[in-house]
Chain A
Amino acid sequence: MTTSTEAISISALSKSFGSAKALDGLDLTVAAGEVHGFLGPNGSGKTTTIRVLLGLLRPDAGQVRMLGGDPWRDAVALHRRLAYVPGDVTLWPGITGGEVIDLLGRMRGGLDRRRRDELLERFDLDPRKKARTYSKGNRQKVALVAGLASDAELLLLDEPTSGLDPLMESVFQQCIQEAKLQGRTVLLSSHILAEVEALCDRVSIVRLGRTVESGTLAELRHLTRTSISVETAEPLRGLETLPGVHDMVVEDRHARFDVDTAQLDAVLRLLVPLGVRSLTSTPPTLEELFLRHYGAGPAAGEQVAS
């Protein structure tokens, strides 16, 4: 059915609730078969975007295509091909976890019984307990098993691991790796950076309802600064005049500074003739990357990569 290689393509999506603007021209492209990280601070519009994709909310403006269809108009047909795991799972108090998994699976058009049982085992979930007795983490597991046990070609995961312990987190990562190998597409909204780094081919960062960055992690890293600490044979001169060098501290033949990753080459050309005795270069951590986008002012939005 899907003619393009894009599982999800959103452009200039806007959605308001009363006077509150939740989405303000958001763009998002997820290629078929990729695991796409969807990042942003709380209230930045991630959940609203996913609800639009689920056909629960009607967009005010913009184009949204998913699996070759219109998420609002073709909701029921599209839902048979996707699985959704919310970040805050509420269940029916008097119904057991096992029953919920079966029910949601059947509503989606059937589930793989063997995989269901295998997932229950891997996530160490007792399906016989009534939902009211589950902890937050266990409710989350119910939704995860229900979603992962399906044959869906697209997984929409909205902070699916909130409340899971580290052991279960690693089980989750394995499951997503397997889904990727099976050729499924995953949109993963998450705050857990290690998870994103381990799983995602590409990421999009949203802020205040707009996309501020999108690309592979390598591409995003490229846009940030690398920390350099260097010792040279000759006294250091001329470095501070180079473009892209920041926060420099020089002590005779020793310097510490940050450099825009794009300017790294020019800096090294200047250093080599001075006789490099030692050099450590620290690539930007993911934390720095995100904190810059989460916390920085609107200027951060001007550096959209793709």
Chain B
Amino acid sequence: MNYFTEVVLSGLTRGSIYALIALGYTMVYGIIELINFAHGEIYMIGAFTALILASVLTIFGFNTIAILFLAGIIAIVYSSMYGYTMEKVAYKPIRNSQRLSALISAIGMSMFLQNYVRIAQTSDFLPFPRIIPRFPWLSALPVSMSSSQFMIFSSTAVVMVLLTLLIKFTKIGKSMRAASQDKIMAKLLGVNVNKVISLTFIIGSATAALGGILISSYTGQINFYIGFLAGIKAFVAAVLGGIGSIPGAVLGSFVLGLTESFGAGYISSDYEDVFAFIILAVILIVKPAGILGKGQIEKV
């Protein structure tokens, strides 16, 4: 197993997780032009809920597969509920005021949720149970991939495909695209914009929670602060790819993940964040709207 493939695999793993979180950022931005600072917190809450449920189910003596599915699904549902409630409480009432107010509200929400988990649970790192079972057939592959890595790749791929299908071919997807283009016109044509926005938050939160559960079982420990750091990185990825564009967020995430792991693997691990931000600065100078972002033409 050579070093190069290892670095590539680690980069792709990071990229997949960033992509799962960045999707929520970019979808929300695409529809209401809000940088949802509290999005990382949803990811953290997803991981925490899964941890709590998995521990309880283990104590009650469930088997591994049942724990994986029950804890995973309930945690994703709960995170979606948090996302939905957050939008109703903190963003809906200020949808018509200036954009900075919504940003500050999001920052407040982020602080609130972090400290809520810290007080209700703990500020220490908690060991995350190994809820992903071992797949023995993985060792037959030419590259050595851990079962968590395999789960991360496959779930990210499935989520991407499902999301693309949802947005391209369903009625809900159509109304989402309509609302992101022109909210007033969409309303006039009978699209329930409030519902579309709620749905966007629900979908974004669900993918973030999935990311949270997967990365936590990969790294093996969590605390209340993991959401903030991951959220910032995923936000960078979303901007890199062109915020508002879904394929852009995925591409940006992989570019970021690979840059970080190559930088860390071949130059120095102390500077992995520096590489990430250098790439961001270079791409934004060349293409200010991001890799796949469309430049905005202002009309008078």
* Chains A and B belong together in one complex: no
Listed in ascending order, the chain A residues whose CB lies under 8 Å from chain B are none
Listed in ascending order, the chain B residues whose CB lies under 8 Å from chain A are none
